[in-house]
């Protein structure tokens, strides 16, 4: 029974609670035992506090007994990436420079929304320092490894959340994404990760990475991602950039038909070298959508690689995160983070505005592209997971992580919704991800397409540790 509990979706857990087949306390104990048994190999969690988690679980259990359940996630255990403020646990963002006590008794909007909906906080998941790179390791917490092969990276920066969900240590987790940080680890770990439209999910305090940064769900099914979006999109007045609430029913919208949907398929965006296994799988995904009634056309969006513009904006965000830190504190930090921040500090205002000009041009290009195509599908990543505790693969021509994530960061520049769903395994036995991109604020259609694909081509494989 314990393995069945570990693999249950959030929606299935809610049903089991309602019928009395399971209790939140029973489920959390099972998950925490699983974490205790396997997390030494993965390092997905930087904080586990069984007593606190079980206290929340007991309160939820009592609500079910009283017939007085709370919100959409009552009793559902959730992993919280350690960049989100939690009132009872410190938030140190993988850094030795943050005073843990200074972060207590505060709630990020996502955490506040989860609380209102009865979630059970399972623990804090690992992140690279300040969430700055596409893999997860930090001087404070060390590397986070991939459940499919612990010698490989889980990706990042939401690598702890992805590894935890993939390894069935949590049915869902919070992630953030300023250049691919939800979709990269989702693809590497074989789970679902959704980067919502910018401003759709309220975020506070403002990210140092500015309007590149999004908060979103990481789950094992698209339906659970839609359920989590129902919660995360609740209004919060602290985010002055949040869009007006549209109160979309993401779960109901999952079942909209694919028939007649206009889908552009691009395996390269016109400039990316892709692993042949991944390219073939994306082309096969196009056939799946055609069988569902969509009109699939191979077409590139038509913009050139915006890496330079993204790097200026993103690394300026890294410098912004460190603006008040002196040399003594910087000596405690990830040296590569300090290096990119120092380079960004030398950029001029015109350099920054030039990057913004390119950002606006790519955004305009994609807005026009979506007048012709409802969705764009691409690989989530051009490669499968590489050795852990490295920023780039061995013998990679560049030292910086965005060079191997060319499918993700363009859509942080544009603020569009982008979903990664499992696409199967490469010949190396490692997960691949399909990215589904929609027009701004068309998250419901993106999730519906991901759900339709998931139903037509289920990803049922489990990481090897689930067999032990």
Rg (Cα) of the chain, in Å, rounded? 21
152 in active site = no
Question: Please, are residues 42 and 154 in contact by the beta-carbon 8 Å criterion?
Answer: yes
102 in active site = no
The alpha carbon dihedral of 62, 66, 70, 71 has a sign of positive
Question: Please, are residues 325 and 97 in contact by the beta-carbon 8 Å criterion?
Answer: yes
Question: Please, are residues 71 and 105 in contact by the beta-carbon 8 Å criterion?
Answer: no
The residue behind tokens 């038509």 is 302
Residues near 210 by Cβ (< 8 Å), separated by ≥ 6?
313, 317, 320
**Cβ count within 10 A of residue 439:** 21
Task: Count CA within 13 A, CB hemisphere, residue 170.
Answer: 30
Peptide bond into 177 cis (omega under 30): no
| Biggest CA-to-CA distance, the chain | 62
Q: How would you classify the pairing of strands 120-125 and 192-195?
A: unpaired
Residues near 379 by Cβ (< 8 Å), separated by ≥ 6?
267, 272, 274, 278, 279, 282, 407, 423, 432, 433, 434, 435
Task: Out of 81, 124, 152, 195, pick the active-site residue.
Answer: 81
Backbone angles phi, psi at 99, to 5 degrees: -75, 115
Helix, strand, coil percent values for the chain (each to nearest 5): 40, 15, 45
Task: Out of 23, 181, 207, 311, pick the active-site residue.
Answer: 181
Task: Out of 23, 108, 138, 157, pick the active-site residue.
Answer: 157
Peptide bond into 205 cis (omega under 30): yes
The residue behind tokens 């701004």 is 440
Q: How would you classify the pairing of strands 172-177 and 214-219?
A: antiparallel
What is the Cα–Cα distance from 391 to 397, expressed in whole angstroms?
12
Region of 389 (left: φ > 0; alpha: ψ -120 to 50; beta: rest) is left
Query: How far apart, in Å, are the Cα atoms of 91 and each of 1, 86, 170, 203, 286?
Result: 34, 7, 19, 15, 41
316 in active site = no
What is the Cα–Cα distance from 175 to 61, expressed in whole angstroms?
26
Q: How would you classify the pairing of strands 295-298 and 262-265?
A: parallel
The alpha carbon dihedral of 108, 112, 117, 121 has a sign of positive
Residues marked as catalytic:
81, 157, 181
């Amino acid at each position: 029974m314990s393995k069945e509990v570990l693999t249950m979706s959030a929606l299935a857990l809610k049903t089991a609670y309602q019928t009395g087949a399971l209790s939140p306390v029973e489920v959390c104990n099972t998950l925490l035992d699983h974490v205790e048994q396997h997390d030494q190999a993965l390092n997905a969690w930087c904080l586990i506090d069984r007593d606190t988690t079980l206290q929340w679980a007991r309160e939820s259990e009592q609500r079910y007994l009283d017939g007085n359940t709370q919100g959409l996630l009552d009793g559902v255990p959730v992993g919280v990436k350690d960049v989100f403020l939690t009132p009872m646990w410190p938030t140190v963002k993988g850094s030795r420079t943050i005073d843990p006590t200074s972060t207590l008794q505060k709630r990020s909007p996502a955490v506040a929304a989860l609380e209102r909906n009865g979630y059970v906080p399972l623990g804090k998941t690992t992140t690279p320092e300040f969430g700055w790179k596409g893999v997860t390791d930090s001087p404070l917490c060390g590397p986070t490894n991939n459940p499919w092969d612990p010698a490989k990276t889980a990706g990042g920066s939401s690598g702890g959340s992805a590894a935890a969900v993939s390894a069935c240590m949590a049915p869902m987790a919070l992630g953030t994404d300023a250049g691919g940080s939800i979709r990269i680890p989702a693809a590497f770990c074989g789970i679902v990760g959704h980067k919502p439209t910018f401003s759709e999910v309220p975020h506070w305090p403002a990210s140092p990475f500015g309007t590149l940064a999004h908060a979103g769900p990481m789950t094992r099914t698209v339906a659970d991602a839609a359920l989590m979006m129902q919660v995360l999109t609740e209004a919060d007045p602290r985010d002055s950039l949040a869009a007006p609430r549209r109160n979309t029913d993401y779960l109901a919208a999952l079942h909209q038909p694919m028939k007649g949907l206009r889908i552009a398929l691009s395996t390269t965006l016109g400039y990316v070298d892709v692993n042949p296994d991944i390219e073939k799988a994306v082309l096969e995904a196009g056939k799946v959508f055609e069988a569902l009634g969509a009109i699939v056309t191979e077409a590139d969006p038509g913009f050139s690689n915006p890496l330079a513009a993204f790097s200026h904006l993103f690394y300026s965000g890294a410098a912004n995160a460190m603006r008040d830190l002196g040399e003594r504190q910087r000596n405690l930090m990830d040296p590569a983070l300090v290096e990119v921040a120092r380079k960004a500090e030398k950029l001029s205002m015109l350099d920054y505005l030039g990057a913004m000009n390119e950002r606006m041009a790519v955004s305009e290009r994609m807005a026009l592209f979506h007048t012709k195509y409802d969705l764009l599908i691409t690989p989530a990543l051009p490669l499968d997971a590489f050795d852990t505790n490295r920023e780039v693969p061995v013998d990679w021509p560049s030292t910086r992580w965005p060079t191997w994530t060319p499918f993700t960061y363009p859509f942080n520049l544009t603020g569009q919704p982008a979903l990664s769903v499992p696409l199967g395994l490469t010949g190396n036995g490692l997960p691949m991800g399909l990215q589904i991109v929609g027009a701004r604020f068309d998250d419901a259609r993106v999730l519906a397409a991901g759900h339709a694909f998931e139903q037509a081509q289920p990803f049922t494989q489990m990481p090897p540790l689930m067999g032990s």
